[in-house]
Amino acid sequence: MEPVRSLHDLLDLQDVDAHIDRLIDQRQNLPELVDYRATHEATLAVGTARDETAARLRELELAIDKTSGELEITQVKAGAEEMRLYAGGLSARDADYLRREVELLKGKVGGMEEEVLELMESREEVEADLTRLDAELTVETSRKTELEAGIRESWRLIDAEIAVKEHRKSEIVPLIDEDLIDLYEGLRASRDDRVVGALNNGVCGACHLILSSAEENEARQQDPPRCVHCRAILVP
């Protein structure tokens, strides 16, 4: 394999890898992802509030049923006791006792009626809150679904482009000496900047620093040529 040709192919490989890296970064940092995460959190928050409100409504309905049932029993008892009082045939002492009992029961009826009314008013407020939260949840869920569809479409396009670049990479790699590939991959794993640079007019294409004549000769004597400043692989 011709060394210089292999080096030039390595430069092409770096360009392809850089393009793939940019596409992966673009995939991971789509602007829509920020909106999606915010919408997802909002959906969870509204959903939690909606469930808590629905649970509160169920509690109120149970309380209304319980209090209404107790009210009905107390009303029946008060009515029966009142009928006994007005039916006559009681001693003065028993009549006085029964009259106080009827008054007590009617007082309980009045209090329970107020309690039922308050519970029903609370139920109306909670029902209104539940209706509002259901509407908010519908909006957030719809927004989340739209964002998800847009993100998936963007990913589809990016993945298609990555596939093209990966195919191009598969064509380049066999043209390069294996030892050179290993060195290149090792450098890429240890640094974020360019690890291969063209050497033009004594300037390193990776770090853009000028090599003196002595430094350029020193670089060219290495196999492969390496920049004396940044240690990038140089392509004459």
Domain boundaries, the chain: 30-153
- Nearest Cα neighbor of 7 from 228, 229, 218, 219 is 219
- In tens, the pLDDT along 83-115 reads 888 887 788 888 888 888 889 988 999 999 999
Whose CA is closest to 105, among 76, 133, 134, 137? 76
CB proximity list for 110: less than 8 A, separation 6 or greater? none
Q: What does the alpha-carbon distance between residue 144 and residue 155 come to, in Å, rounded to a whole number? A: 16
Eight-class DSSP state of 199: E
Report CA torsion sign: 134, 135, 139, 140: negative
The band of 1, judged by pLDDT with boundaries at 50, 70 and 90, is: very low
* pTM exceeds 0.85 for this model: no
Mean pLDDT of 32-60: 97
Give the separation between CA 168 and CA 19, rounded to whole angstroms.
11
Residue 41's nearest CA partner among 132, 135, 143 is: 143
The CATH number corresponding to 30-153 among 1.10.600.10, 3.30.310.10, 1.10.287.1490, 3.40.50.720 equals 1.10.287.1490
